[in-house]
Structure 1
């Protein structure tokens, strides 16, 4: 992978550089200032496979950079690093478009595992997007419900015949899984093991943050289909929708 890491703690950068080189031989550019990191991204975005962002950066903060990157590229994996550790910070970071959230101090091996998992999913997304150039596949849908039509090859989801705009790769994966098994309840642990990596190293509230954002994007097009089953997990249920 070709990685951009924007982090103002040089000791963390030095530590991760050692792991990247020893274990994976990944090429990584380290930048310690937010504004400089954003400029570097704009100049090299076509060559980058992943971005790692600190939340609190001089010049331009990580949340703003993450939001700006997502406006240009909805698919590049983004990991947010932060010394803060509360649910509101995590949710806010994920809502700006981050795919994952890691709290300092962290185990470098945990970061590596998250990066490998994100890279695998990014490669699958890229492969699935390739057939979208073929008109023969443009009207094929792998998942069809009363309200939804989902094409897993083109990574497009339609709600009431309107494309759901701005879905991140993770949000699409969650929607596709829930829609594939209507009314089946999926626990947070099941979603993490299926759509993240197994075993998952992190906070299971990551699922809640992604579900919240997915609901916000879907409610623009019709009734709320994703329901919370308290104490268990989530399901997609159209049976009670009028």
Structure 2
């Protein structure tokens, strides 16, 4: 899942991004509101964590702008102003929740998880495809009960396929969901990750084409059940 963090305080942005990345989220950081706006238009985010006080375009204005343009992405505001007026303004602008700085990291992560669950409430909490099982809450993957050890990128790719289990995903769609703006892969990188993922699933007992290539279009999960 992909999160946009719009925060101009480098120390806070870096620390929060590291925690999110450790929990298998893809994170883009924008240091001002205008860059945040450009990122939001360019990439499919599952959540925006948005500081209230930003250069160029403040958080309230950016929040309003996103809602006026029809973006329904959950928005969590970070604010140093613990007053009811500021909270009301933020919620009225279209924010879904807010956390006051300095924030408790565990509380912030809990609120992030809650907003992400709200955004995907039509999806199951555990994903299954035949004998494959992926639990997003623990990041555990098993096939026929056997643990499948995956790298963070392999896990994210497999989760993406399960969230879009009846769709063909091309390389550009995989790229947009899995890699951050600052971490673009080389042309063959996606192929390498798909190949490795197939090998690990095969080792656990899956067919070698569990993730099948649809020539000229992309990849999808093969239905064998």
With the length of structure 2 as denominator, give the TM-score of the two structures. 0.53
| 1:117 matched to 2:118 | no
With the length of structure 1 as denominator, give the TM-score of the two structures. 0.49
Quote the Cα distance in structure 1 between the aligned partners of 2:122 and 2:87: 24
| 1:7 matched to 2:7 | yes
Equivalent runs, 1:170-209 vs 2, <5 Å: none
Compute the RMSD of aligned alpha carbons.
1.5
Which of the numbers 53, 62, 67 marks the counterpart of 1:56?
A: 53
Instruction: State the match for 1:99 in structure 2.
Output: 96
Instruction: State the match for 2:29 in structure 1.
Output: 30
Quote the Cα distance in structure 2 between the aligned partners of 1:29 and 1:112: 17
> How many pairs are equivalent?
124
Cα deviation for residue 73 of structure 1 reads: 3.3
- 1:12-50 CA distances to partner (integer Å, 9 max, x unpaired)? 01111121122x110000111111111121122xx1111
Decide whether the 8 Å contact of 1:66 with 1:96 is kept in 2. Answer: yes
- 1:80-130 CA distances to partner (integer Å, 9 max, x unpaired)? 001111000000000000000110000111111001111111111579xxx
- Give the SS at the match of 2:95: coil
More helix by share: 1
Quote the Cα distance in structure 1 between the aligned partners of 2:109 and 2:14: 15
Quote the Cα distance in structure 1 between the aligned partners of 2:90 and 2:35: 20
Equivalent runs, 1:79-98 vs 2, <5 Å: 79-98=76-95
Moved over 3 A (4+): none
- List runs of 5+ in structure 2 lacking aligned partners: 125-225
| 1:67 matched to 2:64 | yes
Decide whether the 8 Å contact of 1:55 with 1:82 is kept in 2. Answer: yes
| 1:21 matched to 2:12 | no
Quote the Cα distance in structure 1 between the aligned partners of 2:79 and 2:68: 22
